[in-house]
A and B are shown apart, each in its own frame.
Chain A
Amino acid sequence: MSGATDGLPSTPGAQQGSAPLVVFDPRLGPATAAEDPLSPDARQRVRERAAEVIARYPRPRSALMPLLYLVQAEQGYVSADGIRLVAEILGLTTAEVAAVVTFYTMYRRRPCGAYVVGVCTNTLCAILGGDAIFQALQDHLGIGNGETTEDGMVTLEHIECNAACDYAPVVMVNWEFFDNQTVESARELVDRLRAGDPPMPTRGAPLKTHTEVSRILAGFPDDLADVGPSAGPASLAGLELARRRGESAPPRPGASS
């Protein structure tokens, strides 16, 4: 299912196989959103939760971003109909909502796979192996940046720095960390995702599908916060060295100021 052949209007960003300039990002998809209508049930669910989202903020418009995640949780992406619904809820024009959707890369504008595999190719990860991993996964899966495997299981993309540089090279799957990857481990990772046997993230909870993740990002978490470690080994490198060397901050004089 290539982005360039799914019947949607072509844009410079949807062209595949050209020089890898990042100026137009294929992840963003076509400039116009797909038209798929939300089901009546989905509309109802979004509306019911919208009141709770709006109540988090002093002003309703601040709820726009979480509402877009709620729509994405229903369809896997933000459709033109999803934009209309959010505009209705907040009393905005569809242009105002579309302007926001198109600014942020985490709002998808066309369907994606159950698992979005993001290989960090910002400088540090790229040099430590991210470029090799990203190339190997494209070859292994037979798809390019922003494309989805034919079974609909994996969408592959390169991502920017994800704040885990001490675990480079890093691969994210549905925004969970897979630390210290190699070409082999990354190939095995996508094979298992496609086989319906997703491995555990290095520091996180069992993988959720992309739509389930969008619901959490709307501020409706599941109950998995207690799964996984406090920190990975690199996060603890300094602390453990301090313990071995017997070093610490000076003792605090007490609880008073």
Chain B
Amino acid sequence: MIVANMEIISQRKIASDVYELVLKGAELVNYATQGQFLHLKVSEGTDPLLRRPISIAKIDKEKGELTVIYRAEGKGTSMLALKQAGEEVSVLGPLGNGFSLNGTKRGEVAVLIGGGIGVPPLYELSLQLVSAGVKVIHVLGFAGSDDVFYEEKFTKLGETYVATMDGTYGEAGTVIDVIDKKGLSFDTIYSCGPTPMLKAIEKSFPEKKGFLSLEERMGCGIGACFACVCHVKNDPTRNAYKKICTDGPVFAIGEVEL
């Protein structure tokens, strides 16, 4: 993990308030793995003060580039969205424990379930799973048609279903509705998205093994401030904890309380 300035290679809007940012030029690209995140400082001054945790969507070690995708919704991410190619961003990373590829064997089927701005880290994961000989199915949920992104890219890697809550694109309903309706069968689940979605996945497929990537408001991103802790399941003392920034953000299904 290092702090470095990375150059913006490109920044483009890929859906309503959603931006794809390509960064280049730091050694940290070589260590990054699927499911990890970067802690970005969006301005040099003190407002906003803290870094923004943003998950890595694609790692290109040959070019030395990292792609991140984020939603511009608060002050910090809206400022980040104004940055242009050629400008620099201070990056702390790569942070966190990403998705392990050991959970699925060659020839097995993995379903990658993403919700909204939880979709991006699944892209690098899918690239890695495919190159490891795993068959991937993607189920991507969004609020509406304006929010959909990366459908084509995922489709190139495997079967891809898009669900929208308002029914304006793809299948109407939740990602779980789509899995049920299409009768999808799979060996492993990998998911990232809003907590209610992760809870629904845990509840709907109790017998399946899998991994969930969690989100929480973070401070330092390196495990020192204890802002982003969660309880461990089946812990009668209620004192055991995991830090989402360093023990996670990816946990095995059933490991922590959602």
Query: Do A and B actually bind?
Result: no
Binding site for B on A (CB under 8 A): none
Binding site for A on B (CB under 8 A): none
